[in-house]
Structure 1
């Protein structure tokens, strides 16, 4: 059977195939060369750090591991609360498994957040959420987590200056409040977003040379499903607390790793600020896991806080062994288990449980 002719469907401005063949190997080669140069230049400090890791205090290390596990549990509980607010009730172990698996997809694959979002959506549909509720929960959990990190960063910055000015917290608090009120208003009255949605759909359809109302019925059905996605104040408050605890426990893991390595003292506010800077830097990289960028930001933040360079590197290496190596390993194992389970059981019809 002859191969189908695909020249008609390929965009006119697409790069030639022979260019795409060598582009990926070239990019991989450049990245490997960059990592090699960085390894050679940073080897003395890395060797010093690894030498300190030969005998970390096991009691501190064990508590650090528990803190990171607890942080993952808080993120899972945050998402569970959001789904419960929409009427979807699922045992906590399913949410924890989803949190580990989705996190591993997000931080280890190129373009990982897209894979993680798709996986989250599929699993929430299996939990019984409608398409609108699943999309709403994923979007809201991301915004809530980002807002929690912003609040923790603002507080740590203010405390590190030694002069806590409460009026400086008004802006982030007001932003979170407005975001929450806006989301509640949309879910209570989703029909109010239909005019804007219909106008945007008409423009897109004109560009695609389709009727202006093409796909409007599906959008109306999606909007109607949003009526079940109401963020109740009690669930919103608990979800926000879990979002903040997720970051604080993650930062606590870094703090415990520092004490597993060194007997010296460090300002808790400076360490928390270094942690927030590292997490913020991780959102700006396309490298899986933020390797290099997060580590550099954490090390720089610790050194700025008065920690010796070797101790700072050792602390970050130990922290990344837990937060990246251990958590990602568990996450991929969990993903394989979930995937095998999904193959055995067909996807059920989404029926939102009320309660």
Structure 2
């Protein structure tokens, strides 16, 4: 114990000093930015004092639609596996999991674990739950790429047709690949038997040992077949999930200014902000998403004070309101599970 204390004493002070220097540097940078951008900030605060109510209402409705779209996307994926759960329960899961994801350090891991456990409570098998979560992520990322391509094309930035065709081919390959995996379990039976036998030879076990366990996993995966109807519906809701969020940002801009703004440029700025937010250094992408959005809107020709005011309103709705509602839902679900004697 003495040796550990001595070693700890020689290391931790250096780490503390490094942490203090980093915090001081961030504070200095913040103060410098505050001084340099004070005029824009003061004008932005002035615009925030009297935003137009109607666009704010539509922005809030759009953000509610965002969560509804994500819940319905996941619901269609689960229905593809033969499991029907009410929209209300999927909505509760979407709000709670999203709140865990964007507010906790390493929130993605907490959110994925929570999602997995709740899907199991819905009646999904472990394989189907993992399949649903993975496919939700694939659809969401693909939908953002599609929205970005549409924004770039409509903005007239000279996007080449080759890029759009390449993206389209990639999307088709993803869908075909997923359907092949979902429908191809019978075709893989011989390959599975050969693979299990090869592994058992290395383990010096009988050739068919654990074969039934592997087949059981295959049968569970085979139940999660992405039918054309549910697949198309899930893809549409994945697109709506991003599109309605971009609409929320647009409505926040309309709430603080009447000046004409190019919707395609706003869509591009939004996609840039969401791409920057994928760098999960800070929970919720605080500072990262906001800076990218403001920069994108200013590049689109919006005045800096207006861009700042619009982004503040957007984050209040998309982050503050949704996260607050999500944590309330999480507490209610946790209390309900605890009352039923389950493990929350």
TM-score band by shorter chain is 0.7 to 0.9
CA contact (8 A) 2:127 2:220 kept: yes
Higher mean alpha-carbon deviation, 310-319 vs 337-346, is at 337-346
CA contact (8 A) 1:156 1:269 kept: yes
Q: Normalized per residue, which structure has more helix?
A: 2
Q: Deviations over 1:327-346 (max 9, x none)?
A: 11111111111111111224
1:36 to 5, 23, 27: 27
How far is the alpha carbon of 1:62 from its aligned partner? 1.2
Partner of 1:158: 153
Q: Deviations over 1:24-46 (max 9, x none)?
A: 97787566545533432333143
Partner Cα separation in structure 1 for residue 99 and residue 311 of structure 2: 19
CA contact (8 A) 1:285 1:293 kept: no
Indicate the SS of the match to 1:190: coil
Residue segments in structure 2 that go unaligned for 5+ positions in a row:
none
CA contact (8 A) 1:131 1:222 kept: no
Q: Is 1:273 matched with 2:276?
A: no
Q: Is 1:285 matched with 2:271?
A: no
Cα distance change on mapping 1:31 and 1:66 into 2, 3 Å: farther
Partner of 2:79: 84
Partner of 1:306: 301
CA contact (8 A) 2:193 2:211 kept: no
Partner of 1:240: 235
Partner Cα separation in structure 2 for residue 105 and residue 210 of structure 1: 45
TM-score, with structure 1 as normaliser: 0.83
Partner Cα separation in structure 2 for residue 319 and residue 346 of structure 1: 39
CA contact (8 A) 2:100 2:111 kept: yes
Aligned length: 329
Indicate the SS of the match to 2:83: coil
State how 1:65-76 maps to structure 2 within 5 Å.
65-76=60-71
Cα distance change on mapping 1:85 and 1:21 into 2, 3 Å: farther
**Which structure would you say has the larger Rg?**
2
How far is the alpha carbon of 1:264 from its aligned partner? 1.1
Q: Is 1:190 matched with 2:185?
A: yes
Residue segments in structure 1 that go unaligned for 5+ positions in a row:
1-6, 8-15, 349-355
2:335 to 319, 336, 340: 340
Cα distance change on mapping 1:74 and 1:22 into 2, 3 Å: farther
State how 1:85-234 maps to structure 2 within 5 Å.
85-161=80-156, 168-190=163-185, 192=188, 195=192, 219-234=214-229
Partner of 1:331: 326
